[in-house]
């Protein structure tokens, strides 16, 4: 880690391909904090998910009840996925939900990355800020990172916002997968984007939240 020379004294600049170790607890980038989803988030999380249904429904499953929430935590408990939320630093609202799933270990060390922005934060750049931290954590070394080598994002061809986000994070377009995922009863094609650890340039302003910070929720 190198201290910033940009005047952002309380931030840390992560050098290129450092294998930076961002612990899976509280971190922040720009206007959001990112941390794993936890049991106590149930009510606020479901409120955020339900009130964002109009944004989510065309592209992704809308999580709307307790069963959906506990199902995510069960997947996490079984080690099948890692789930994060981003929290706005000012008003503490949940700005987005992120999952790292379909993890392949062995000689692949790859996973898929899924995301949903929540209203009213969608479209303000906060999803990108959170994903900078999450991608960095995915490629970081254990024990704080997930030690992955490759991440994939799969977006429907018409999902322009998601495709723009993948590109803005530096993901490469690899091609189209026909009839890749089942949503609302219909098999959908997806554009596949990928990024390897070597391609990731994590030169961003981000830092861990220390115990001195007020209310690091
Ligand atoms: C796809 C989705 C996650 C994108 O989230 P988002 O919140 O719009 O993403 P961001 O706000 O980080 O970035 C979007 C725009 O905000 C802009 N933006 C606004 N203020 C910004 C700021 N201060 N800093 C950076 N970017 C900013 C970005 O430039 C970007 O614009 P562009 O991509 O149109 O050029 C969201 O639309 C969503 O949840 N959709 C439904 C579910 C879904 O499609 N999930 C993905 C399935 S593959």
Lowest mean pLDDT among 21-35, 40-54, 150-164: 21-35
Residue 95 forms part of a structural domain: yes
Flag whether 214 is in a domain. Answer: no
Answer yes or no: is 104 within a domain: yes
Q: Which one, of 167, 187, 170, lies nearest residue 179 by Cα? A: 187
82 part of a folded domain: yes
C-alpha–C-alpha distance, residues 90 and 121, integer Å: 12
Quote the pLDDT of residue 159. 98
| Residue found under tokens 């099948």 | 80
Cα of 49 to ligand 1 centre, how many Å?
A: 16
- 117 assigned to some structural domain: yes
Q: Is the pLDDT of residue 203 over 70?
A: no
Q: Is the pLDDT of residue 9 over 70?
A: no
CATH of the domain at 36: 3.40.630.30
Atom of ligand 1 nearest to the CA of 126: 12
Residue 102 resides in a domain: yes
Residue 1: predicted pLDDT: 33
Is the minimum distance from the CB of 122 to ligand 1 under 6 angstroms? yes
Name which residue sits closest to atom 25 of ligand 1, judged by CA: 125
Q: Which of 142 and 10 is assigned the larger pLDDT?
A: 142
Would you place residue 142 in the very low, low, confident or very high pLDDT band (cuts 50, 70, 90)? confident
Find the 86 Cα to ligand 1 centroid distance in Å: 14
Alpha-carbon distance values, 11 to 5, 33, 88, 146 (Å): 10, 13, 17, 23
How many domains, the chain? 1
Q: Is the pLDDT of residue 15 over 70?
A: no
- C-alpha span between 96 and 86 (Å, rounded): 5
Answer whether residue 168 shows pLDDT above 80: yes
What is the span of the domain harbouring residue 57? 2-208
pLDDT at 209: 53
Q: Does residue 166 belong to any structural domain of this protein?
A: yes
Please check whether residue 36 lies inside any domain of the structure.
yes
Q: How far, in Å, from the CA of 123 to the mean position of ligand 1?
A: 4
The C-alpha angle with vertex 83 and arms to 49 and 16, in degrees rounded to 5, equals 120
């Amino acid at each position: 880690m190198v201290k910033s020379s940009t005047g952002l004294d309380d931030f840390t600049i992560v050098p290129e391909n450092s294998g930076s170790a961002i612990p899976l607890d509280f971190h922040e980038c720009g206007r959001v904090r990112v941390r794993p989803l936890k049991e106590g988030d149930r009510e606020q999380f479901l409120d955020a998910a339900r009130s964002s249904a109009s944004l989510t429904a065309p592209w992704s499953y809308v999580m709307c009840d307790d069963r959906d929430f506990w199902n995510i935590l069960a997947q996490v408990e079984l080690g099948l996925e890692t789930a994060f939320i981003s929290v706005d630093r000012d008003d503490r609202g949940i700005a987005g939900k992120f999952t790292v799933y379909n993890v392949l270990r062995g000689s692949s060390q790859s996973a898929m990355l899924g995301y949903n922005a929540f209203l009213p934060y969608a479209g303000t750049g906060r999803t990108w800020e959170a994903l900078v931290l999450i991608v960095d954590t995915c490629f970081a070394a254990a024990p704080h990172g997930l030690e992955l080598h490759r991440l994939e994002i799969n977006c429907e061809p018409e999902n322009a916002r998601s495709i723009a986000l993948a590109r803005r994070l530096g993901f490469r377009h690899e091609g189209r997968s026909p009839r890749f995922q089942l949503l609302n009863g219909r098999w959908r094609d997806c554009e596949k984007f990928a990024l390897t650890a070597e391609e990731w340039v994590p030169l961003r302003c981000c830092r861990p939240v220390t115990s001195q910070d007020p209310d690091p929720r």
